[in-house]
Chain A
Amino acid sequence: MLKIEGLCAGYGRIQALHGIDLDVPEGEIVTLVGANGAGKTTLLMSICGAPHASAGRVLLDGEDITHLPTHQIIRRGLAHSPEGRRIFPRMSVLENLQMGAAQSDPRHFDQDLERVLALFPRLHERLTQRGGTLSGGEQQMLAIGRALMSRPRVLLLDEPSLGLAPLVVRHIFEIIAAINREQKVTVFLVEQNAFHALKLAHRGHVMVNGKIALSGTGAELLANPEIRAHYLEGGTHGETAS
């Protein structure tokens, strides 16, 4: 569905990605784990054309979207819940969700809103509240909900667990699984919380210094001793602690 071939990208003279090859098959959850600064966020952003790739290609259903402007890429069925959530702080929760549906047919807005609010009942109670006044967990729900309002075929999620309490993290991950299972949305999940992410994912990739270092199914990577040593300590501790 989403195919990345030899992608290089960076900011100014600093190159962050060095030839990424990655495949996100339809209907699956694919996760990308890695340390801070490995280039995970840059990869997600350059799929959306911000920054544009300096080399390589991004294909969506076989169509080359590498050099399209960001809004054109999004209109082809991608949705992005970015790092830091980026809720519009001075807009109500409802307006944030309306922005998510800005490019879709207004006739199915009510239906989409109902679907998202069923997924996040908490947002229902907060509809008229300003986005900036929500808690971290609620903002994350809003960010994912906003992304889902456009009926995306591929959902890009950048660190949905960041800065959230373990219980909230588990809730968010359950919802991501549900979105994938019930609404048949293909998910590309970038996470530092490798344990949860790999447990959830059909397929996983490990990124080190702007390159894919290791790939496999979620279960394979979870069992890999090297991965356990490098990426899972925090995650497993978090799990036993909760």
Chain B
Amino acid sequence: MEYFLQQLINGLTLGAIYGLIAIGYTMVYGIIGMINFAHGEIYMLGAFISLIAYLAATTIGGGSVAVALMVALLATMLLTALWGWTVERVAYRPLRKAPRLAPLISAIGVSIVLQNFSQLAQGARVKPLPPVVRGGFTLMQSEDFAVNLSWLQIFIVMLTAVLMAVFTWVITRTSLGRAQRATEQDMKMASLLGINVDRIVSITFVMGAALAAVAGLMVTLYYGVIDFYIGFLAGIKAFTAAVLGGIGSLPGAMLGGLLIGLIEAFWSGYFSIEYKDVATFGILVMVLLFRPTGLLGRPEVEKI
């Protein structure tokens, strides 16, 4: 029981991070029907930017960890969003009218470019960050096992919950969200109503990148090490989460992220930690075989 609870806590934390990245995949797919394979790299850039921003904030500001974290969070979201905007502008927008394979290949290209750029700019070695948020409390204690809930885990889950609530509100209640949904459902009609669809697509990339940036910051804090290659695996896992939830569906991405996190945690806890990625991608294969629309996706007539 204690062991189960611990895995649940770990899984929720991990799932929150995957969910944040998965939203970027699902939104971009919804609006321009393309899998943005560079999204994992955007998350990786977010992790690097957060590390630099945090160190800069502590160096300049000195004192408080909370203030430094806030500054790092905002700076990371802003700068990573700028990356997301640039990638769309440079690599995808010129291909808006091209066959669907072209932007996909362009995305893979961007992914390679960004990986190599970080490797060159930041070096290939892992970058450590000493634990910033320490402590927590013990929920339960039996003779040989203690269930720990760290402040950091609480911070990660809470921040994710808040971001997702804000995000859901923007999409369902504001005029910007309405324009995004309209563009997703019928881009040409949206433009016939005076919507600048290029701008809406840009904003969508910016929003997805900002959420991935938060995930990058969380991972930096949670694991304490990052390198230029983390975007690949996390990206594919978040993509799996988006597919599991139903690609194009926002609640689906959140649910999928959570499930993937839980599956990974429980698999590592009860079976073997070496095979946790196999478990995750096994899920991807199963979903694609038996329920290609995912858990919450709607059946697509033909969108390839």
Contacts and interface: CB of A to CB of B under 8 A. Distances in A.
Contacts of B178: 91, 95, 98-99, 102
A88 B192 contact: no
B95 interface: no
Contacts of B182: 88, 91, 99, 102
Contacts of B195: 71, 99, 102-103
Interface stretch (B2-10, B16-24, B183-191): B183-191
A88 B194 contact: no
A88 B185 CA distance: 6
Contacts of B175: 98, 102
Interface of B is mostly: helix
Contact of B189 (A88, A98, A150): A88
A100 B191 CA distance: 11
Interface in B183-215: 185-186, 188-197
A86 B189 contact: yes
B179 interface: yes
Place the interface of chain B in its size category: 10 to 19
B194 A74 contact: yes
A86 B196 contact: no
Interface in B154-196: 175, 178-179, 181-182, 185-186, 188-196
A90 interface: yes
B190 A99 contact: yes
A146 B194 CA distance: 12
Contacts, number: 61
Interface string B281-301: 000000000000000000000
A88 B191 contact: no
A122 interface: no
Interface string A82-95: 10001011110001
A71 B191 CA distance: 5
Nearest to B188: A50
A119 to B, nearest CB: 18
A92 to B, nearest CB: 10
Interface in A139-155: 146, 150
B185 A146 contact: no
Given A88-B182, A91-B182, A100 B193 contact: yes
Contacts of A88: 181-182, 185-186, 189
Nearest to B198: A69
A211 interface: no
A146 B179 CA distance: 14
B191 A75 contact: no
A80 interface: yes
A234 B195 CA distance: 38
A236 interface: no
Nearest to B172: A95
Contact of A90 (B179, B185, B193, B196): B185
A180 interface: no
Contact of B191 (A50, A89, A95, A150): A50
Interface in A9-63: 48, 50
B10 to A, nearest CB: 36
B196 to A, nearest CB: 5
B189 A82 contact: yes
A74 B242 CA distance: 36
A82 to B, nearest CB: 6
A104 B262 CA distance: 46
- Counting chain A CB atoms within 10 Å of each CB, the highest count among B179, B182, B197 belongs to B182
Contacts of A150: 193-194
A102 B193 contact: yes
Nearest to B197: A71
A98 B176 CA distance: 11
10 contacts: A69-B191, A71-B191, A80-B192, A86-B189, A90-B185, A99-B182, A99-B195, A102-B175, A103-B195, A146-B193
Interface of B: 175, 178-179, 181-182, 185-186, 188-197
Given A80-B192, A99-B182, 18 more contacts: A70-B192, A74-B192, A74-B194, A86-B186, A88-B181, A88-B182, A88-B186, A89-B185, A90-B181, A90-B185, A91-B178, A91-B185, A95-B178, A99-B179, A99-B193, A102-B178, A102-B193, A103-B194
